Amino acid sequence: VITIDTENNPIEHVKYTKEENQLRIVITPKVAPMLLQNFNLKQEKDSSFDLLIAVGFSEKEELEKSCGVEISREKIININIDENIDFGDINLSDSEEYSTAKLTFHWLQTVLGEAKLRPIANYLLTGLVSASEGFLSRKCTAKDFFVSETLLSLGANYDDIIEHLFQ
């Protein structure tokens, strides 16, 4: 968490850029210069999420490591294809399923409706293509093609996924 004393250092605007493996945060003060002593950078021990949706994590510790915080009081919806994973308050699992992306698709489609999936269609199709080894796996079923057809109709780009996933 980055905290800036804006009472003594009013901010004009904030922007960021991603360059290779770096995130640059550019803070433009209303009045220059900004003093380093008015910045505070720390990692929170506990977070303040209202809800955390965990997809594909096998244990709570793995989720905490990925988030960079200890998770103690949040509500967790856990989506996983392993039947013995139950660290969430709500656990959506299907041990018969081989693709967490497909399980997530079905849940989100039910909860949000198909149209709301448009912004993440490419991500879901990437997960499905990866899990099915480009639809060449013996695990692949007709349901996978129906899901992929739906995601393609929502704007997912299969050619782009194949180009980047299997290069």
**How far is residue 99's CA from residue 27's CA, in Å, rounded to a whole number?**
41
**pLDDT at position 4 over 80:** no
How far are the Cα atoms of 14, 119, 120, 133, 165 from residue 151, in angstroms, in the given order?
35, 10, 9, 17, 17
Q: At residue 146, what is the residue type?
A: F
Q: Find residue 16's DSSP bridge partners.
A: 25
Number of H helices, E strands in the chain: 5, 7
pLDDT tens string 112-159: 999 999 999 999 999 999 999 999 999 999 999 999 999 999 999 999
Q: Are 58 and 31 in contact (CB under 8 A)?
A: no
Tell me the DSSP string of 129-164. HHHTTTTTSTT--HHHHHHHHHHHHTT--HHHHHHH
Q: Which of 126, 105, 129, 128 is nearest to 117 (CA)?
A: 105
Query: Is the pTM above the cut of 0.85?
Result: no
**Residues in the chain, overall count:** 167
pLDDT tens string 61-75: 888 888 777 777 668
Q: Are 79 and 56 in contact (CB under 8 A)?
A: yes
